[in-house]
C-alpha cells in the first residue's frame, strides 16, 4: 500500500500542471502586453523572464500577438525571445497568428522566413500543407489579407514544394481567391525550371483559366497574364531549344493585347540569333527601336552574340560602339561574345585587346573565354604566349583551367617538339582533377613517360582521348618513341586535325527576369 501511494505521488509529479483558469490566463496576457508596450526595451525582457519563468502556452502567445498586431516588429521580437529562452512550445496556431500579423503589415522577408520555418518544424506529406489550413482558420480572427497566401506559395516554391504550391493555388481559386500575377509568374517559372517548359505552359493555362488551345478564357478567373508572364514562358521554351514555341507564345501575347517589352524582344531575337536568322533578328531590333522601348545590355548582347556566331564581327562591333554611345554599360557577356567572334575568324590579336579592355573595366572573365583565347593562340602556333596568358589568368582571376585549355596547350607543345613540357602539363592536369575520358590517375605522373602510360592505360580498358593522342603524336613525330606510331589504334585518330570549334550556347544572353516579373 505504501509503495503504491509513493508511485501515485511520483506519477502525479510527472504530469503537466493543470491549465490556468480563463481569468488567470487573461491576467497573464494583459500583463505581458503591458510590459512589452510600456516598459523600456532593456528591462522588459528581464521582467517577463522573472515573472513568467515557466513560459507560455501557444494559446497565450497567440492572444498576446493578437493584441500586438499593430506593432508587428515587437511581436516578432517577442517570438524570438520565447524561442531563445524556451518559453513556449509553439504550435501551428501560434505560428499562423504571427504570420498573419507580419503579413498584414507587408513585412515580406520576415513573413517568408517564418513560413519556411513552419514548413520545417511541422513537416507533413499532405498535398495541402497543414499551415495552409491553419492560416485559413485564423484568417478572419487576424483581420488578414490575401497577400498572406501569396507569401505561402512563394515560401513553398523556395522550399521546392511545387505540388503543395500548385494545390494551394488551386484551392484558393476554388474559393474565388486569386494570387497576384507576380506570384503566378513565380509559380510558372519554378515549375518550368524544374519540370520542363511544357509543364510550366500547362500550369499557365490552368492558373489563368484558358481552354486547352488558349483561344478563350474560362469564366470566373479574375486575373490576367501580363508581359512578364509571357516572358517567363518564352524564356522556358527558348532554354529548351524550342524556337517555334517561342514564336507561338509571341503570337498569343499579341492576341491578348499585351505589349511586349524590351526583354520580350530580347528573347525572341535570341531565338532567331541561335538559328542564324539574323535578318529576322534585325527586323525585331528595328521594331524595338521604333517603339521607343529601352535598349538595355540584354538586347545589345543578344545582337552582338548573334553576329559573332555567324562570323560577322564587324557588324557586332557596330552594335558594340552604339552600345557605348547610348550609355549602356557593357558586361562580361558583351566581351565574351566579341572575344569568341574574333578568335573564330582568326583575329586573336583583336581578341587579346578586348580581353585586356575587359580586365581593365574590372570584369572577371570566365573559364570558357580563356579556353577560346588559348585555342586561338595555339592555332597560330603561339604556344608560349598561350602558356603565359593562362598563368596570368590563373593568378589575377583565380580561374581554374578547363580540360580544353590543357588539351590545346599539350597539343601545341607536342607540335613544337616540347614533349617534356607537355608531359609536365599533363601531370599537372591529372593531379588537379579526374580526367573525364579516362587518361587515369597517377600520383607519379610527372615521372611517367607517355610510352609507358599509353599501353598500360589501354590494357586496363581505358578510353584513348584527344589528350592521349596529342602526347602520342609528339613522342612519335620527334623520334623519341617511333614504335608507338605502329599501334593499330593510332591511325584512327588525328589529333592535329580534330574537328569542332568551341561553341557556347549562352542562355545568359537572356539573364534572369527583372523586377516586376
Helices 41-51 and 22-38: crossing angle, nearest 10°?
Answer: 160
pLDDT at 9 over 50: no
pLDDT at 127 over 60: yes
Among all chains, which residue has been given the C-alpha cell 583551367? Answer: 401
For residue 499, name the pLDDT band (cuts at 50, 70, 90): very low
Among all chains, which residue has been given the C-alpha cell 544572353? Answer: 509
Residue 441 confidence (pLDDT): 39
- CA-closest candidate to residue 122, choices 111, 110, 112, 134: 134
pLDDT at 134 over 60: yes
Residue 438 confidence (pLDDT): 42
Q: In this structure, is residue 305 part of a structural domain?
A: no
Buried b (16+ CB within 10 A) or exposed e, 178-193: bbebbbbbbbbbbbbb
Reported residue count of the chain is 517
pLDDT at 488 over 50: no
pLDDT at 185 over 50: yes
- CA-closest candidate to residue 135, choices 159, 115, 160, 110: 115
Q: Answer yes or no: are the C-beta atoms of 417 and 474 closer than 8 Å.
A: yes
pLDDT at 418 over 80: yes
Among 79-83, 411-415, 467-471, where is mean pLDDT lowest?
467-471
Task: Name the domain boundary from 204, 233, 252.
Answer: 252
Among 17-26, 61-70, 411-420, 495-504, where is mean pLDDT lowest?
495-504
Distance, CA of 332 to CA of 82 (rounded, Å):
48
pTM for this entry: 0.74
Percentage of the chain beyond pLDDT 70 is: 76
Q: Answer yes or no: are the C-beta atoms of 181 and 226 closer than 8 Å.
A: yes
Cell of 163: 505540388
- CA-closest candidate to residue 105, choices 148, 62, 137: 148
CA 460 to chain centre: 40
pLDDT at 147 over 90: yes
pLDDT at 40 over 80: no
pLDDT at 150 over 90: yes
Q: In this structure, is residue 420 part of a structural domain?
A: yes
Among all chains, which residue has been given the C-alpha cell 501515485? Answer: 8
- Max mean pLDDT among 47-56, 386-395, 483-492 falls in 47-56
CA 111 to chain centre: 22
Q: In this structure, is residue 32 part of a structural domain?
A: no
Distance, CA of 155 to CA of 117 (rounded, Å):
10
- CA-closest candidate to residue 298, choices 306, 309, 308: 306
Beta bridge partners of 210: 217
Give tens-digit pLDDT for 303-325. Answer: 999 999 999 999 999 999 999 99
CA 212 to chain centre: 31
Q: In this structure, is residue 277 part of a structural domain?
A: no
Distance, CA of 199 to CA of 9 (rounded, Å):
63
Q: In this structure, is residue 19 part of a structural domain?
A: no
> Where would I find the H helices in 196-242?
197-207, 227-239
Among 393-402, 430-439, 474-483, where is mean pLDDT lowest?
474-483
Q: Answer yes or no: are the C-beta atoms of 510 and 235 closer than 8 Å.
A: yes
Q: In this structure, is residue 455 part of a structural domain?
A: yes
pLDDT at 474 over 50: no
Cell of 395: 593568378
pLDDT at 436 over 50: no
In this prediction, residues 19-46 reach a mean pLDDT of: 81
* 3-class DSSP assignment, residue 327: coil
pLDDT at 350 over 80: yes
In this prediction, residues 156-165 reach a mean pLDDT of: 94
Q: Answer yes or no: are the C-beta atoms of 376 and 343 closer than 8 Å.
A: yes
Task: Name the domain boundary from 195, 224, 252.
Answer: 252
Domains: count for the chain = 2
Residue 23: how many other CB atoms lie within 10 Å: 8
Q: In this structure, is residue 162 part of a structural domain?
A: no
Residue 259 confidence (pLDDT): 93
pLDDT at 77 over 80: yes
Distance, CA of 6 to CA of 479 (rounded, Å):
98
Distance, CA of 463 to CA of 64 (rounded, Å):
70
Q: Answer yes or no: are the C-beta atoms of 56 and 64 closer than 8 Å.
A: yes
Half-sphere exposure (CA, 13 Å, Cβ side) for 23?
0
In this prediction, residues 164-182 reach a mean pLDDT of: 91
Distance, CA of 114 to CA of 328 (rounded, Å):
40
- Higher-pLDDT residue of 42, 494: 42
Among 49-53, 110-114, 231-235, 513-517, where is mean pLDDT lowest?
513-517
Mean pLDDT of the chain: 80
Q: Answer yes or no: are the C-beta atoms of 369 and 340 closer than 8 Å.
A: yes
* 3-class DSSP assignment, residue 89: coil
Domain that holds residue 515: 402-517
Cell of 248: 507561338
Half-sphere exposure (CA, 13 Å, Cβ side) for 98?
29
Please return the burial class of 153, using the count of CB atoms within 10 Å of its CB with bins 0-12, 13-18 and 19+. Answer: buried
Q: In this structure, is residue 230 part of a structural domain?
A: yes
Amino acid at each position: 500500500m505504501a509503495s503504491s501511494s509513493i508511485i501515485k505521488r511520483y506519477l502525479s509529479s510527472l504530469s503537466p500542471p493543470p491549465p490556468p483558469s480563463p481569468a488567470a490566463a487573461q491576467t497573464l496576457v494583459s500583463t505581458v502586453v503591458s510590459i512589452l508596450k510600456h516598459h523600456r526595451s532593456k528591462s522588459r525582457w528581464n521582467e517577463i523572464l522573472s515573472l513568467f519563468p515557466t513560459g507560455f502556452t501557444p494559446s497565450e502567445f497567440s492572444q498576446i500577438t493578437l493584441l500586438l498586431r499593430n506593432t508587428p516588429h515587437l511581436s516578432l521580437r517577442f517570438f524570438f525571445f520565447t524561442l531563445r529562452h524556451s518559453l513556449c512550445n509553439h504550435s501551428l496556431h501560434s505560428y499562423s497568428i504571427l504570420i498573419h500579423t507580419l503579413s498584414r503589415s507587408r513585412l515580406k522577408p520576415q513573413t517568408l522566413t517564418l513560413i519556411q520555418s513552419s514548413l520545417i518544424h511541422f513537416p507533413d506529406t499532405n498535398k495541402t500543407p497543414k499551415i495552409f489550413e491553419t492560416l485559413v482558420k485564423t484568417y478572419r480572427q487576424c483581420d488578414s489579407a490575401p497577400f498572406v497566401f501569396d507569401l505561402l506559395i512563394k515560401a513553398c516554391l523556395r522550399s521546392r514544394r511545387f505540388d503543395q504550391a500548385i494545390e494551394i493555388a488551386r484551392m484558393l481559386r476554388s474559393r474565388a481567391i486569386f494570387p497576384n500575377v507576380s506570384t503566378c509568374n513565380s509559380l510558372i517559372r519554378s515549375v518550368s525550371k524544374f519540370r520542363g517548359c511544357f509543364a510550366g505552359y500547362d500550369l499557365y493555362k490552368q492558373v489563368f483559366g484558358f481552354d486547352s488551345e488558349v483561344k478563350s478564357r474560362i469564366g470566373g478567373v479574375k486575373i490576367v497574364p501580363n508581359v512578364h508572364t509571357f516572358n517567363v514562358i518564352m524564356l522556358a521554351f527558348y532554354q529548351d531549344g524550342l524556337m517555334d514555341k517561342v514564336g507561338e507564345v509571341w503570337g498569343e501575347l499579341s492576341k491578348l493585347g499585351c505589349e511586349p517589352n524590351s526583354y520580350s524582344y530580347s528573347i525572341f531575337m535570341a531565338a532567331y540569333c541561335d538559328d542564324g536568322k539574323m535578318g529576322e533578328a534585325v527586323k525585331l531590333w528595328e521594331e524595338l527601336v521604333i517603339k521607343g522601348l529601352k535598349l538595355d545590355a540584354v538586347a545589345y548582347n543578344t545582337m552582338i552574340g548573334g553576329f559573332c556566331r555567324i562570323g560577322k564581327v564587324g557588324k557586332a562591333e557596330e552594335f558594340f560602339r552604339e552600345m557605348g554611345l547610348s550609355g549602356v554599360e557593357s558586361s562580361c557577356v558583351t566581351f565574351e561574345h566579341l572575344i569568341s567572334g574574333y578568335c573564330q575568324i582568326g583575329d586573336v590579336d583583336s581578341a587579346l585587346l578586348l580581353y585586356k579592355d575587359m580586365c581593365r573595366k574590372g570584369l572577371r572573365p570566365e573559364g570558357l573565354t580563356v579556353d577560346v583565347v588559348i585555342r586561338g593562340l595555339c592555332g597560330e602556333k603561339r604556344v608560349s604566349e598561350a602558356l603565359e596568358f593562362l598563368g596570368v589568368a590563373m593568378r589575377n582571376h583565380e580561374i581554374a583551367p578547363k580540360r580544353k585549355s590543357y588539351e590545346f596547350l599539350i597539343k601545341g607543345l607536342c607540335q613544337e617538339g616540347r614533349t617534356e613540357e607537355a608531359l609536365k602539363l599533363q601531370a599537372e592536369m591529372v593531379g588537379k582533377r579526374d580526367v573525364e575520358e579516362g587518361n587515369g590517375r597517377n600520383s607519379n605522373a610527372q615521372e611517367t613517360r607517355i610510352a609507358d602510360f599509353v599501353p598500360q592505360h589501354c590494357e586496363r580498358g581505358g578510353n584513348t582521348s584527344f589528350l592521349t593522342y596529342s602526347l602520342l603524336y609528339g613522342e612519335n613525330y620527334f623520334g623519341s618513341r617511333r614504335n608507338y606510331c605502329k599501334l593499330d589504334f593510332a591511325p584512327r585518330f588525328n589529333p592535329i586535325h580534330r574537328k569542332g570549334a568551341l561553341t557556347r550556347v549562352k542562355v545568359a544572353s537572356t539573364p534572369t527576369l527583372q523586377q516586376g516579373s
